[in-house]
Copies of this chain bind each other. A is one copy, B any other.
Amino acid sequence: MLAIHLNAYGDPAENLELVNLPEPSAPGPGEVLIGVEFSPINPADLLLAMGYYALRPTLPSVIGNEGVGIVLAVGDGVTNVKIGDRVVPPLSSFLWRERLVIPAKSLAALPQHADLKQLAMLAVNPVTAALLLSEFRTLKPGDWIVQSAANSGVGRSVIAYAQERGLKTVNIVRREELVAELKAAGGDVVLVDGPDIVERAKASIDNAEIALALDCLSGPATAMLGAILSHGGMLVSYGAMSGAPIALNPGDLIYKALTIRSFFLGHEQYAAKFPALIQQSANLVTAGKLHVPVAATYPLTAIKDAIVHAKRGGKVLLDISGD
């Protein structure tokens, strides 16, 4: 069967290779055989390939952090899923291959008629968004939050989850053409970064309290969110897409008594919450409340083109079953 191997840590476009691997053996007791259908190329996959991620498998290794698949066979004693069910394997199952055997215990059947590409993106971004809104601050309906990179997969999921919970969002983007789109997706305020963004953000909500900021960019974006937060506010950093160090104005941090925390999906205290959040996110997808635009899909045979596209930007999925 076809698979993608990472042969060395470094430039993923050079070190990811299409290989032909033996078929997995039949599932044993408590296991299932999954046929992978779609798997996105996420920033975390690129970081892993470059060797910058928390996880560094022994090479060569299949990689691929999340995706959706169909149950092709079940081992003895498996009752929670059956052949034909759509499932989202646990994080870091290494899905850039046609088939694999995994334990059944964390799996649950997802809606059969949902958009498979959307289901393929449930395990990282929507789960992250749900946890960002629940693990750091006690928020009640009507409370405001602010986020950078609001058009990202997490950003759009934050908007969807915030709407479900009655929270209001100030969304900062860097391209004017995203404003209408994110407002249509449910963003309460959508602003383009630039001069006076701090003043514009505060004015947009009549200087209401804003107790939580979410940042995956780092660099000046972190400082900007720190300046927008109210006294006693909390900033949660969950990425560093800008490649720059996290920067903060000391006056904001110290005089406003901000707290800076961080979120990493790989920390084990979150793992037990994944199955329920994946189900909840799948329900948002089927209800039309959560949709992340897909820029392109590529077969495994075009892995290098897919990587180049993913590095350029936009959500790129590997279409692994090729249906």
CB neighbours of A52 from chain B (8 A): 251
The answer to whether residues A260 and B259 also contact, given A52-B251, A245-B247 and a CB cut-off of 8 A, is yes
CB <8 Å contact, B223 and A245: yes
CB neighbours of A255 from chain B (8 A): 54, 264
- Looking at the assembled complex, report how far the CB atom of A132 sits from the nearest CB atom of chain B, in whole angstroms: 13
Q: How many residues of A contact B (CB 8 A)?
A: 27
- Stretch from A107-115, A141-149, A232-240, A313-321 contacting the other chain: A232-240
CB neighbours of A246 from chain B (8 A): 246-250, 253
Closest B residue to A231 by beta carbon equals B267
**Is the CB of A218 closer than 8 A to any CB of chain B?**
yes
Q: Which A246-303 residues sit within 8 Å CB-CB of chain B?
A: 246-251, 253-255, 257-264, 267
Complex-state Cα separation, A255 to B267, whole angstroms: 8
- Looking at the assembled complex, report how far the CB atom of A42 sits from the nearest CB atom of chain B, in whole angstroms: 15
Query: B245, B254, B259: which contacts A259 (Cβ < 8 A)?
Result: B259
CB <8 Å contact, A258 and B250: no
CB <8 Å contact, A262 and B253: yes
- Looking at the assembled complex, report how far the CB atom of A83 sits from the nearest CB atom of chain B, in whole angstroms: 39
How many copies of the shown chain assemble into the complex?
Answer: 2
CB neighbours of A54 from chain B (8 A): 255
CB <8 Å contact, B247 and A247: yes
CB <8 Å contact, A259 and B258: no
Residue of A238, A253, A261 most packed against chain B (CB within 10 A): A253
Which residues of A are at the interface with B, using a C-beta cutoff of 8 A?
52, 54, 218, 223, 237-240, 245-251, 253-255, 257-264, 267
Complex-state Cα separation, A246 to B222, whole angstroms: 11
> 17 extra interchain contacts, Cβ-Cβ under 8 A, other than A223-B245, A257-B264?
A54-B255, A218-B250, A237-B250, A245-B247, A246-B247, A246-B248, A246-B249, A246-B253, A247-B247, A248-B248, A248-B260, A254-B263, A257-B267, A258-B261, A258-B262, A259-B259, A259-B261
Closest B residue to A246 by beta carbon equals B248
CB neighbours of A263 from chain B (8 A): 254
A sample of 14 cross-chain residue pairs with beta-carbon separation below 8 angstroms, ordered by A number, consists of A237-B250, A237-B253, A240-B254, A245-B249, A246-B246, A246-B249, A247-B247, A248-B260, A253-B260, A254-B262, A254-B264, A255-B264, A257-B264, A259-B259
CB neighbours of A264 from chain B (8 A): 254-255, 257
Shortest beta-carbon contacts, A-B, top 4 = A240-B250, A260-B260, A246-B248, A254-B262
